[in-house]
Chain A
Amino acid sequence: MSIIFNNVRIPMSGTFFPGQKVLVEKGKIASVGSMIRKNVEKVIECEQKYLIPGLIDAHSHLGLFESAVPVDDINEPYADITPHLRPLDGVKMRDRAMEDARRAGISTCMVCPGSERPISGICSILKTNGNSADVGLIVEQAGVLMSFGEQVKVTARKSERSYVTRMGISALIRETLMKAQDYYAAKQSKKMVKDREIDMEALIPLIKGEVAMRACAHRAEDIMAAIRIADEFKLKLVIEYGTEAHLLASILAEKKIPVVLGPTLIPRFRYELNEKTFESAKILMDAGVEVAFTCDYPGLPIETLRVAAAMAIQYGLEEKRALAAITEVPATILGVDARLGKIKKGMDGDLALFSGHPLDIRSHLEALVVDGDLFVFSKDLKIETGS
């Protein structure tokens, strides 16, 4: 399908530029400017509304959590180390939350297993438009999820089957990475006559440095544990949650470790959330850390991604950087910045049209385009079918 957005505001060098046109063809952004003339299937008269790149949540359990069902497919509580679990095998594309995500302007999510076990599986990047997970899939192996701190401890204590201290969690993760290094070295030497091991196979891209260790950690100490282990095994690292990351801003900046920050709009229901503040994003960004917001769905409803950015503005963050933290920056952290996160020729046709400023929570989503698929949410939107 080809679509043109006429007379729209788009984000440009820190402000919204009016009177622009954006053309989407064959699922990609074909042209951006004020002088586009082209016969298309759908012409959308935007009357100076706001068009932004489709939003990205870099950490969610979308589709793994099943709406209105008491059991979920997020955590595998009876095993500690399961890097071979693949989100694709548990995602339900027709879950209501998928529609909620689209209605919130979210076109892409990183979906991962839960953070209750030390190593819980791989992270996959999905779009929200597919009828099956395979259609929406962008990158399947985009990282390995590891978890530190209270949540892992509490789960282990409940099950009485696993290591229950921070010392034990670090040791389990180290043990697994040590095995994976040796497994990979044996495989490299071509003397490998052994049978493959499915968990070790899943860790090879991590050991090779192709994908990141995505470390769920709230407390400063738990973030440091992740940094320590990533350094020891020379792994790429992304911090998830990062509730106390602002206390380590200079260390994270120096080591160039990004933070997927959130969910912040929650009460301090565990000790490790005690230092939670909406100022985190600004402190981290000022220090030079890359920050993306997450609502950790179902930690918070997926619709609250914009709210996270707006709250950070309330606590001093500039609008431009808040918007980048739900578009460009998560694309960079996920390693898909060549195709997502900006309104630019050649990028994926993922666009969200808002009735007003996108970070004004009162504005509503009028239309969403994902890979050129058009979803319309406003009856008043003027759409003409072209010749």
Chain B
Amino acid sequence: MKTILEKGIIFHQGKFQELDKLVIEKGKIVELVLASAKAKKGKPLPAPKKKADTSANVINCSDRYILPGFIDAHTHISLEEEGVGWYDADFNESFGLATPQVRAFDALKMRDKAFNDALHGGVTTAMITPGSANPIGGQCCIVKMVGNVAEAAVVKESSGMKFAFGENPKRVYGEQKKFPSTRMGTAAVIREWLMKAQDYLKRKKTKEFKEREIKLEAMLPLIEGKIQARAHAHMADDIITAYRIAQEFNLDMVFDHCTEGHLIAKELGKWKARAVVGPTFSSRSKPELRNKTFETVEILMDEGCVVALTTDHPVMPIEGLSVAAALCVRHGLDEERAIKAITENPAIILGLDKRLGKLEVGYDADVVVWDGHPLDVRSKTEAVFVDGNRVI
């Protein structure tokens, strides 16, 4: 069945515009008519066509804001189900320094309340990654916020390989009196496995190859450029170390957190870096967060980086994604780019810009109707569609 959203203000082509109608069918956006385009034609739609639409579910969205579902490109939703307890958490595979073979997808819990919170916050898609305790933490996945089993929510089962730089691995292993307890050690572990993976790839092409090794099998898509490297890095120097390794091994790298990104904005701009910035709405709880600022996003965008915002849920609740964008606006970023940082940009970063992050014909019908401006924290979501199904 068709769903038609009529009137309202739509975020389209990077700005707010008057909508005439948006038609959703079979999970996709099939038609989009702006009020301005209709005015140009000057002719109202002929009556018979309107009759043909009697089977459709028409929603009048006058004075409402219509946006693409937000995307959080870095979360840990449901790995540690909310309100259950530490003993059932699946956040970091702390046994094993390099665990490229573990997949966040295998630990999703679809009844986590956070999925519903996300929808209420207008978030319809999230990347879910293992934690940052291990230098190589495992595989990330991308899911929508619906479905009773992970298979029903999946966009990509394995979308990236998580690497962690800086304080976290150093602290976790240092406290256990194990290697690595320095930044040099962390980088060495990562290099060692990338090197092994490159050699494994060569060896696999020979006739003598017989026995697969699961860790190295998991690294192959990364080495072959089929999935991204996701580098957890806060401090400027850690970001640079990550980039150094990406260059050495020719990796397709996205920088996560990027807390001091603004200090090396020129470099990141030159690299045409993709950065998932945040969670900025948290405290400076460790030294590597000392230079945290809401201005990072604008500074990086001005240098030509593709920047998305993240809540890093559960560090900051997933519902706060639009709040993070609003705080950037308070610190000087323009509204349009703030919205892009939670729609188009994360879609580009996740490699899904052909189907997510915009309201355009042919895109997934992940559409959110807000009763006020989406960056006004008082506004709420009145209707949320995921793949064309109304979920709120």
Distance to closest chain B CB from A151 (angstroms): 11
Instruction: Say whether A166 contacts B95, CB under 8 Å.
Output: no
Instruction: Say whether A167 contacts B94, CB under 8 Å.
Output: no
What is the chain A residue whose CB lies nearest that of B100? A171
Among B119-127, B206-214, B249-257, the stretch in contact with A: B206-214
What is the chain A residue whose CB lies nearest that of B84? A271
Give every chain B residue within 8 A of A272 (Cβ-Cβ).
88
Q: Which of B233-254 contact A (CB under 8 A)?
A: none
Give every chain A residue within 8 A of B95 (Cβ-Cβ).
156, 160-164, 168
User: In the complex, what distance in Å separates the CA atom of A221 from the CA atom of B90?
Assistant: 12
User: In the complex, what distance in Å separates the CA atom of A168 from the CA atom of B79?
Assistant: 12
Among A172-180, A277-285, A340-348, the stretch in contact with B: A172-180
- Total contacts A-B at CB 8 Å: 97
Q: Is B217 an interface residue (CB 8 A)?
A: yes
Give every chain A residue within 8 A of B287 (Cβ-Cβ).
none
Q: Is A257 an interface residue (CB 8 A)?
A: no
User: In the complex, what distance in Å separates the CA atom of A171 from the CA atom of B110?
Assistant: 20
Q: Which of these, A157, A175, A224, contacts B151 with CB under 8 Å?
A: A224
Q: Is B46 an interface residue (CB 8 A)?
A: no
Most buried by A among B101, B110, B151: B101
Instruction: Say whether A182 contacts B210, CB under 8 Å.
Output: yes
User: In the complex, what distance in Å separates the CA atom of A321 from the CA atom of B247?
Assistant: 64
Give every chain B residue within 8 A of A157 (Cβ-Cβ).
87
Give every chain A residue within 8 A of B96 (Cβ-Cβ).
163, 168
Give every chain B residue within 8 A of A163 (Cβ-Cβ).
93, 95-96, 102
Instruction: Say whether B102 contacts A224, CB under 8 Å.
Output: no
Distance to closest chain A CB from B77 (angstroms): 13
Give every chain B residue within 8 A of A178 (Cβ-Cβ).
212, 214, 217
User: In the complex, what distance in Å separates the CA atom of A326 from the CA atom of B88?
Assistant: 33
Instruction: Say whether A165 contacts B84, CB under 8 Å.
Output: no
User: A153-B88, A165-B91, A166-B106 are known contacts. Are A220 and B148 too (CB-CB below 8 A)?
Assistant: yes
Distance to closest chain B CB from A160 (angstroms): 8
Instruction: Say whether A271 contacts B85, CB under 8 Å.
Output: yes
Give every chain B residue within 8 A of A186 (Cβ-Cβ).
210-211
Q: Which of A181-196 contact B (CB under 8 A)?
A: 182-183, 185-186
Give every chain A residue within 8 A of B94 (Cβ-Cβ).
164
What is the chain A residue whose CB lies nearest that of B93? A168
User: In the complex, what distance in Å separates the CA atom of A153 from the CA atom of B90?
Assistant: 9
User: In the complex, what distance in Å separates the CA atom of A219 from the CA atom of B356?
Assistant: 31
User: In the complex, what distance in Å separates the CA atom of A150 from the CA atom of B138?
Assistant: 20
Q: Is A247 an interface residue (CB 8 A)?
A: yes
Q: Which of A304-347 contact B (CB under 8 A)?
A: none
User: A164-B95, A167-B93, A182-B212 are known contacts. Are A224 and B103 too (CB-CB below 8 A)?
Assistant: no
Q: How many residues of chain B are within 8 Å of chain A by beta carbon?
A: 35
Q: Which of A213-227 contact B (CB under 8 A)?
A: 219-221, 224-225
Q: Is B310 an interface residue (CB 8 A)?
A: no
User: In the complex, what distance in Å separates the CA atom of A163 from the CA atom of B87?
Assistant: 13
Give every chain A residue within 8 A of B150 (Cβ-Cβ).
221, 224
Instruction: Say whether B151 contacts A167, CB under 8 Å.
Output: no
Distance to closest chain A CB from B88 (angstroms): 5
Give every chain A residue within 8 A of B84 (Cβ-Cβ).
271
Give every chain B residue within 8 A of A248 (Cβ-Cβ).
148-149
User: A153-B87, A168-B95, A224-B151 are known contacts. Are A182 and B110 too (CB-CB below 8 A)?
Assistant: no
Most buried by B among A167, A183, A220: A167
Give every chain B residue within 8 A of A170 (Cβ-Cβ).
102-103, 106-107
User: In the complex, what distance in Å separates the CA atom of A164 from the CA atom of B109?
Assistant: 16
What is the chain A residue whose CB lies nearest that of B102? A167
Instruction: Say whether A154 contacts B214, CB under 8 Å.
Output: no
Instruction: Say whether B99 contacts A171, CB under 8 Å.
Output: yes
Give every chain A residue within 8 A of B87 (Cβ-Cβ).
150, 153-154, 157
Q: Is A204 an interface residue (CB 8 A)?
A: no
Give every chain A residue within 8 A of B90 (Cβ-Cβ).
153, 165-167
Give every chain B residue within 8 A of A164 (Cβ-Cβ).
93-95
Give every chain A residue within 8 A of B102 (Cβ-Cβ).
163, 165, 167-168, 170-171
Distance to closest chain B CB from A149 (angstroms): 9
User: In the complex, what distance in Å separates the CA atom of A168 from the CA atom of B138?
Assistant: 10
Distance to closest chain B CB from A253 (angstroms): 14
User: In the complex, what distance in Å separates the CA atom of A170 from the CA atom of B91?
Assistant: 14
Most buried by B among A185, A221, A224, A228: A221
Which 10 A/B pairs are nearest by Cβ-Cβ distance?
A167-B102, A166-B107, A170-B106, A165-B90, A175-B214, A168-B93, A166-B90, A171-B101, A171-B102, A182-B211
Q: List 15 A-B contacts (CB under 8 A).
A: A157-B87, A160-B95, A163-B96, A164-B93, A165-B89, A165-B90, A166-B90, A170-B102, A170-B107, A175-B101, A178-B217, A183-B211, A221-B108, A271-B85, A271-B88
Interface residues of B (CB under 8 A from A): 79, 84-85, 87-96, 99, 101-104, 106-111, 130, 138, 148-151, 210-212, 214, 217
Q: Known A-B contacts: A168-B96, A221-B149, A248-B149. Give 13 more (CB < 8 A).
A: A165-B79, A165-B91, A165-B92, A165-B102, A168-B102, A170-B103, A171-B93, A182-B211, A220-B110, A221-B150, A224-B151, A228-B106, A248-B148
